[in-house]
Every structure is written in structure tokens, then in C-alpha cells.
Amino acid sequence: MTTRDQILASIKANQPAVLPLPTQFTFVSTFPDLTQQFVDILTFVGGASVLLPDMDAVKQYLQAQYAGLSNIATTVPDLESLADMKLDVADPHDLAGLNLAIIEGPLAVAENAAIWVDERQLPQRVVPMITQQLVIIIRQSTLVPNMHDAYKRIQVDATGFGTFICGPSKTADIEQSLVIGAHGARSLLVCILP
């Protein structure tokens, strides 16, 4: 018997009689205003947000916000004029100098300000972590109340990698003092379109 077979045999011999799955494992969350809930939680976790009417306004806002910054890359065609770097590199190490990544988030969750992104938004998986600053553009129309709703909308294995991002990277490992900017992005700005 291989180790695998031994382990599985031992598990089979020791596991209890089959118990049922719960009938209820999804719940409904009701928030008076999904966008407000998202914004409040995002602020709580150290992120920033701005409501903008369209992509043109996003472009102007980001231009002003990150004026003078270089090593900017984006996957959003309308914002290409802001970029001076490409994200679809063959070797992810080429992104080491990235200062600002601007990507889109196809789905966002109001209860916890998490934004789902997968390889359709990320030419390299490391983009949202290796960049110094991160901007994600979401749409109010794709905001869902809670995580149960999110998992109904996404297919986790549609691409090889996907992640929920909630705020900038952070740590409180030194005496429980919150420090924003651990190993991933130092800041997260979410631009919210209608």
C-alpha cells in the first residue's frame, strides 16, 4: 500500500457515519445603501474611495492624484495614456519597479469591502501585491451585499488564480500597532463608477 492509500484507508476506518450538510448556509444581508456600506468598511480597513461619473473623470482624478509619479501601468484601455509601463510582461520580476497599478474589479462586496479580481484583470498574479500603490475601479452595478452573493456570481476556477482584496496590505504584528503597507500595496484607492 502506498502512503496515500494507507492514509485514505485509515481515514475511512475512523470517520464517523455520514452527517448531513446544513440546509441553510447562505444568508441575506440588507444594507440601506450598498455603496455607503462598502465605503464605510473600506475606510475602516485603511482604504480610500471616490465616486466618479465615468472613465474620463477617473482619468482626470488619477492624473491629479498621482501627478509626477512614474512607473504606472494599467489594464484599462481608456486609461492607457496615464501609463508608462506594461503589465503583461513574461517575467513577473520585471514588475519590481511598479509604483502604481490601475486595474478593474468585476465584483465588490458591501459587507466587507472585498473586491474580487482574477487573471482576467491581472496579466500577472503578483500585480496587486508588488505595486507600491493600487487603484481598483469598480461599478455600483456589480456591488453585492455579502460573501454568499459573491460566491453565487463568481466562478472560483474560471481562471487559475483569483483573490478578494480588502484594503491595502497591513500588519499589526508589532505590539498590535496597525501599520498600513506590509508586503503588498501601501495604499488602495477604489474609484466607484455608477
Min dist. Cβ of residue 81 to other proteins (A): 28
Min dist. Cβ of residue 51 to other proteins (A): 21
Q: Considering beta carbons, is residue 30 or 81 the nearer one to other proteins?
A: 30
Min dist. Cβ of residue 151 to other proteins (A): 5
Min dist. Cβ of residue 182 to other proteins (A): 4
Min dist. Cβ of residue 72 to other proteins (A): 19
Q: Considering beta carbons, is residue 51 or 179 the nearer one to other proteins?
A: 179
What three-state secondary structure class fits 74?
Answer: strand
Q: Considering beta carbons, is residue 105 or 167 the nearer one to other proteins?
A: 167
Q: Considering beta carbons, is residue 140 or 171 the nearer one to other proteins?
A: 171
113 contacts 166 by C-beta, under 8 angstroms: yes
Cα(107)–Cα(70) distance, rounded to whole angstroms? 28
Among all chains, which residue has been given the C-alpha cell 465616486? 51
Min dist. Cβ of residue 50 to other proteins (A): 20
100 contacts 69 by C-beta, under 8 angstroms: yes
Cα(100)–Cα(193) distance, rounded to whole angstroms? 20
73 contacts 87 by C-beta, under 8 angstroms: yes
68 Rama sector, left if φ>0, alpha if ψ -120 to 50, beta otherwise: left
Q: Considering beta carbons, is residue 81 or 173 the nearer one to other proteins?
A: 173
Q: Considering beta carbons, is residue 81 or 88 the nearer one to other proteins?
A: 88
Sort 172 into a burial class: Cβ within 10 Å, 0-12 / 13-18 / 19+: exposed
21 to 115, 146, 153: CA distances (angstroms):
28, 21, 22
